Structure 1
Amino acid sequence: MKKLIALTLTAGILAAPAMAQAPLSQEKYINDRLIAARVADRVRRECPSIDARIVYAWSQARALKKYAQNQGYSSAQIDAFLDSKPDKDRIYAAAENYLTRNGAAKGDAESFCRIGRAEIASKSVAGSLLVAK
């Protein structure tokens, strides 16, 4: 029985590289939440009547990291992804595109407030990170 367990474990370890996972930049769930977090961050910075739910946002960030780890990504892979300038630029650009498509205009705080109120009302991921003052 011990030999069977050892053989099974060895086969699993040797097969692991064959089951290559997609890069984190292609992991939709994670990327969607990072984009939503950036949207929320932009709204809270531009709209004086909306603030961030900092403790909740922090807990969601931890939960997202745990999700990535449960998907098989290592802490090193997660850190490399979060430190990647091209990935950060891509996420920021997607958030800016979303904001622009929804009416945000540079220098127009109310346009960001409108988006923030809509996100809060719809209970979106971005809205869950925000609170009206």
Structure 2
Amino acid sequence: MRAMTMALMLSLTAGALSAKPHLRDVPEIDGTLLAVGIADEIRKNCPDISARMFRALTLVNSLKGRARDMGYSDAEIDAYRTSDTEKARLKAARATYLENSGVTAGQPATYCMLGRAEIEKGGQIGALLRMN
């Protein structure tokens, strides 16, 4: 009986230790998708800036491979990717970032200003953009 109790405790502990966080809680995945969304919003609203589409597609595809390497199944990845709740959450986070960065909806000059600053900074968002 004691051996069974120990075995059960060990299996429960192992299960708890191997539990994966939701993909939204993995900064590498969620943050990258947010950056792609921000870059996309900038390029759609600033006529002077376009996307580095190949780079963006490569980055997004590599995220799926990275998630697989972290132990997520294709079903888990697709559920996260297609979730209306997650899309709405990322859209709200994107809107907050844009607003906090001085962007005003309907004013392309503000998107261009942010886009130029992101390109100059050379971060993840700027790497997905280029001046026309």
- TM-score bracket, shorter-length normalisation: 0.7 to 0.9
Deviations 1:44-83 (A, max 9, x none): 0000000000111111111111111111111110000001
Deviations 1:1-24 (A, max 9, x none): xxxxxxxxxxxxx98744111111
SS of structure 1 residue aligned to 2:113? helix
SS of structure 2 residue aligned to 1:131? strand
Aligned to 1:92: 91
Q: How does 1:22-33 map to 2 (within 5 A)?
A: 22-33=21-32
CA distance in 2, matches of 1:20, 1:89: 25
Aligned to 1:50: 49
SS of structure 1 residue aligned to 2:130? strand
CA distance in 2, matches of 1:74, 1:47: 37
Structure 1: give runs of 5+ residues left out of the alignment: 1-13
Structure 2: give runs of 5+ residues left out of the alignment: 1-11
**Percent of matched pairs sharing the same residue:** 38
The CA deviation at 1:103 is 0.5
Q: How many residue pairs end up in the alignment?
A: 120
CA distance in 2, matches of 1:16, 1:44: 46
CA distance in 1, matches of 2:13, 2:51: 44
- The 3 A distance-change label for structure 1 pair 16 and 72 is farther
User: Are 2:79 and 1:119 equivalent residues in the alignment?
Assistant: no
SS of structure 2 residue aligned to 1:21? coil
CA distance in 1, matches of 2:96, 2:83: 20
The CA deviation at 1:100 is 0.4
Aligned to 2:8: none
- The 3 A distance-change label for structure 1 pair 16 and 50 is farther
State the one-letter code of the partner of 1:92: K
CA distance in 2, matches of 1:131, 1:49: 9
RMSD over equivalenced CA pairs, Å: 1.5
